[in-house]
Amino acid sequence: MAAIREIKVDVAVVGSGPGGQKAAIQAAKLGQQVFLVERELELGGASLNSGTIPSKSLREAILDLTDFRERSFYGKDHPVPAVSIDALNHRLAQVLAAERAVVMRQLRKNGVHWLHGVASFTDPHTLEVTDGEGQLVARIWAKQIILATGSRPRHPAGITFDGQVVVDSTQLLRIGRVPRSLIVIGAGVIGSEYASFFAALGVPVTVVDQRDHMLPHLDSEVGTHLQGALSQMGLRFIGNRRWLTVARVGDMARVEVDDGANPDTHETLEADVVLCAVGREAQVDGLAIERAGLELTPRGYIPVNELFQTAVSHIFAVGDLIGHPTLASTSMEQGRLAARHALHALARPFPEVYPQGIYTIPEISFCGATEEELRDRGVHYEVGRAYYYEIARGQIEGADVGMFKLLFHAETLEILGVHIIGRAATEVVHIGQVAMTFHARLDFFVETIFNYPTYAEGYRIAALNGFNKIPAR
């Protein structure tokens, strides 16, 4: 039996996803001895190995291999090239290998040590680490502990996941074939992204959700724009329906849903694969947080204050473990700030303005308030719009589906919300983010010269559209 490692460090980080990586590196840059524990064999967490990076890599591979961007030039009858799972996996494997190498290089460069295993508290300062067979391999004592264990797909009671026909979002990446047809339960971010990917592949896709439209947290006009684009790709959305049963029958998936208007009426759907995308839950299994004096919220998250500090002053938590916004981008900054707060280094508050990106086809990104939120708050606002068919770059690249939407105060002209759907949305949104951070007014975009032709000039077109709706000044 191998000797148990006894480790004493300044900072222990549990989890190597975006939040854990940045926390560990920031603590090391502040001169601390840092030890990181990761339960999976690969570093990078769910974001790198089963979530953000794989899904976005899959998206780009599908867009490239299907000539998707050519379709607007050649019409709906332009044939969709057959794409094999081997071709998709080839692209995915290269991206993952490169990104994993980057993570390891950054940790080594900053002197962060790591160990694979499952960490659990024995007391507020001590973690025990066990291997895949449950054998104790290390005991870590740390002055400060940062938890960044992420999340996993939620598995509702009553659904048996077999990893081939009935799958979650992690299992979908490993089924080893392109589905002949797909049912997606859940029209949130993950469900909507994967539904659009496979629709672009030419796979018949049906999305079922108990809400009346996809991605209900979006500005409703943007959501309507998305649903129209997806329906043109052949995607079928069934709203106001609850799933009743999900099962594998032979080699097929069968889903029974109710009729929202008549609960006694049921509809049976069948497909090659069913993806259950009904949210994610914090990954706290095995942590034994109660031994550290921590408790979960009713929704299963670890509560923290504005410094990402838990009820135990030297223990911090970040990322999906603490709930909204559960983005890789925000988790990175939470991890960095948590490390600085833990080590009493100067740190600004977490930013109030940050973008969210949804990598559906077409993609969406936004920051600030939606039109519905401004209306509910009684804000006197106005709207400026620019459609992608008005933007020369969109015509050049065949990206005629999309819209810029700027929400601004009708009196002060301050920009209150930026919403973009269409190609490059997740890139150009940052221009609006910077403008909002500095409380820019609409005339900033009216008076700014953008390169031509670019997607970014959509800001100026939308600003001019909005400017023309207010009284002359």
For residues 15 and 149, is the Cβ–Cβ distance under 8 A? yes
**Model pLDDT, residue 263:** 67
Q: Which CATH fold would you assign to the domain 5-153+281-342?
A: FAD/NAD(P)-binding domain (3.50.50)
CA distance 275 to 165: 8
Residue type, 228: G
Q: Is 367 helix (H, G, I), strand (E, B) or coil?
A: strand
CA–CA gap between residue 371 and residue 79 (Å, rounded): 39
Q: What is the pLDDT along the chain (473 residues), one digit of tens a residue?
A: 568 899 999 999 999 999 999 999 999 999 999 999 999 999 999 999 999 999 999 999 999 999 888 877 876 667 778 888 999 999 999 999 999 999 999 999 999 999 999 999 999 999 999 998 889 999 999 999 999 999 999 999 999 999 999 999 999 999 999 999 999 999 999 999 999 999 999 999 999 999 999 999 999 999 999 999 999 999 999 999 999 999 999 999 999 998 766 767 789 999 999 999 999 999 999 999 999 999 999 999 999 999 999 999 999 999 999 999 999 999 999 999 999 999 999 999 999 999 999 999 999 999 999 999 999 999 999 999 999 999 999 999 988 899 999 999 999 999 999 999 999 999 999 999 999 999 999 999 999 999 999 999 999 999 999 999 998 76
Per DSSP, the residues of 397-413 read: HT--S-EEEEEEETTT-
Q: Which two structure tokens, joined as six digits, stand for 108? A: 């080594």
Pairing of strands 280-282, 356-358: unpaired
Q: Is the dihedral of CA 117, 122, 127, 128 positive or negative?
A: negative
Asked if residue 385 lies in contact with residue 455, where contact means CB atoms within 8 angstroms, the answer is: no
| Residue keyed to tokens 């990206």 | 399
CB atoms within 10 A of CB 146: 32
Residue 321 one-letter amino acid = L
3-state SS string for 142-181: EEEEEECCCEEECCCCCCCCCCCCEECHHHHCCCCCCCCC
Cis peptide before 325 (omega within 30 of 0): yes
202 burial via Cβ count (<10 Å: 0-12, 13-18, 19+): middle
Q: Which long-range contacts (CB under 8 A, 24 or more apart) does 224-227 make?
A: 225/402, 225/403, 225/421, 226/192, 226/360, 226/362, 226/364, 226/421
DSSP symbols for 424-452:
THHHHHHHHHHHHHTT-BHHHHHT----S
Q: Which residues contact 44 (CB under 8 A, 6 or more apart)?
A: 16, 17, 21, 53, 99, 100, 103
First-residue to last-residue Cα distance in the chain: 81
Amino acid 471: pLDDT: 82
Please report the pLDDT score of residue 260 as a whole number.
Answer: 67
For residue 97, how many other CB atoms are within 10 A of its CB? 9
Helix (H) or strand (E) holding 138: strand 136-147
Cβ neighbours for 22, distance < 8 A, ≥ 6 positions apart? 331, 332, 333, 335, 336, 339
Q: For residues 429 and 355, what is the distance between their CA atoms, to the nearest angstrom? A: 7
**Domain residue ranges in the chain:** 5-153+281-342, 166-278, 362-467
DSSP state of 296: -
* Domain 166-278 CATH assignment equals 3.40.50.1370: no
Picking from 242, 314, 237, the residue whose alpha carbon sits closest to that of residue 278 is 242
What is the architecture of the domain spanning 362-467?
A: 2-Layer Sandwich (3.30)
Q: Is 317 helix (H, G, I), strand (E, B) or coil?
A: strand
The conformation of residue 98, written as its DSSP 8-state character, comes to H
Q: How far apart are CA 120 and CA 16, in angstroms?
A: 15
Q: Per the structure block, which two tokens stand in for 472?
A: 């002359």
Domains 5-153+281-342 and 362-467 share a fold: no
